Structure 1
């Protein structure tokens, strides 16, 4: 008998679709950052990270289809637009400004994957979520290190303000996305064959 705490059916599909939309959000934000960053090395690194998000999209799409669900192929509404706007503001500045805004978006992605990877899931889902969480941890650590090389000291004024922005950004996005996930789960339950 399956552990009742392991999400299945509509709950699993809604959870995976929430992460899928998160990766769609990230691909758009990465595209803006890549287009705005002037340092070729940073551009190349961000392009590689965007590739990680595309891989997550492909893997999550497959998991959702295997679970009998319909994968969403859109960013979160309305938080995806908000995240894109935050990243767009960063493109008005130099590389440091681009990476500071990028870091705020990446923190929410990292933390969300971390939470979902820690939940109980079947083996296939757990493997993919843990690998994606490790990717997000690596992305965040890279941007933190790049900012330090640009003179943004951990615990300094810019870093402290950035941490506050990250926390506000993440809480607002998580609350809205959680509500959207509940709606998606209810819709999935009503879909023929959506369990």
Structure 2
């Protein structure tokens, strides 16, 4: 799935869409943790999920400061992110991690774009850059680990 998040015309819509994306990611992480056979892998995924939960905290604060209502759950894309994990479960842990990696591709792209958004103030840009680095780290681990299996 290719995301359009990060291309919004204003910061309010960007923050809202990033929150939807994060809630979708958290749902995918929950599905992944539940389905992985290797509990060491599940523990690492749970660690990464904490980064996403922290991103939600910061984005909720941004939404409050911007005076917008923060989404509290994902959108329709959640079915796609969790559905990929469910299908991959039929083929084992490596396939699950590969499916998760494709979800991370979207968050990496979204935060990369967000860090360059013209309406973002320096503090927001700093958060977007940090979140981008988190997502790149998650994606790299998933890709490397899946290939090693």
TM-score after normalising by structure 2: 0.88
- 2:95 corresponds to which residue? 97
Q: Is the 8 A contact 2:84 2:99 kept in 1?
A: yes
* Structure-1 separation of matches of 2:91 and 2:42: 15
- 1:35 corresponds to which residue? 34
Secondary structure of the equivalent of 2:146? helix
* Structure-1 separation of matches of 2:114 and 2:10: 13
Output aligned runs, 1:70-85, within 5 Å. Answer: 70-76=69-75, 78-85=76-83
Q: Is the 8 A contact 1:23 1:53 kept in 2?
A: yes
* Structure-2 separation of matches of 1:90 and 1:53: 22
* Structure-2 separation of matches of 1:58 and 1:39: 29
* Structure-1 separation of matches of 2:14 and 2:33: 29
**Which digits, 9 at most, give the CA deviation of each residue in 1:99-142, with x for residues without a partner?**
11111111111111111113242022111111101100000010
Tell whether 2:22 aligns with 1:17.
no
- 2:86 corresponds to which residue? 88
Output aligned runs, 1:39-78, within 5 Å. Answer: 39-76=38-75, 78=76
TM-score after normalising by structure 1: 0.68
Shift of 1:41: 1.8
What 5-or-longer segments of structure 2 have no aligned partner? 1-8
Q: Is the 8 A contact 1:30 1:46 kept in 2?
A: yes
